[in-house]
Amino acid sequence: MKGGDTVSTIQIRIDEATKTQSNAIFLQLGITMSDAINMFLRQSILRGGLPFELTIPKYNEATLKALADMEQSKGHGIRGKSVNAALADLKAEDGDDD
């Protein structure tokens, strides 16, 4: 804040999960919730609007499920193997001999 500026308090209502998840991110970034909200407000002033684009996702139910499944399976993929080695592993897991 600039010297001589008076400080104002803002009170917001937010669900506990959003507060907890966002606070964890801010802690990793080394900032407080108050710092993050101040950054948001300053960027809004600087840009003359919201500092991000507002859009409505156009994903259907199947796409949302696929995205969720993909997100859940992160880190469980087959890495560092050739396609043939990965296919052989899959066939061995299924008991497929051809």
Q: What is the pLDDT of residue 49?
A: 96
Confidence of residue 72 (pLDDT cuts 50, 70, 90): confident
Whether residue 80 sits in one domain with residue 42: no
CA 40 – CA 46 distance, rounded (Å): 10
Whether residue 62 sits in one domain with residue 50: no
Q: How many CA atoms lie within 13 A of 22 on its CB side?
A: 12
Whole-model pTM: value is 0.54
Whether residue 35 sits in one domain with residue 17: yes
The amino acid occupying position 51 is: P
pLDDT digits (tens, 9 = 90+) for 13-38: 999 999 999 999 999 999 999 999 99
Mean pLDDT value across residues 64-82 = 75
Q: What is the pLDDT of residue 51?
A: 95
- CATH number at 7 reads 1.10.1220.10
Query: Which sign, positive or negative, has the C-alpha torsion 20, 69, 92, 79?
Result: negative
Give the count of domains, the chain.
2
CB 42 within 8 A of CB 51: no
Give the residue numbers spanning the domain of 34: 1-54
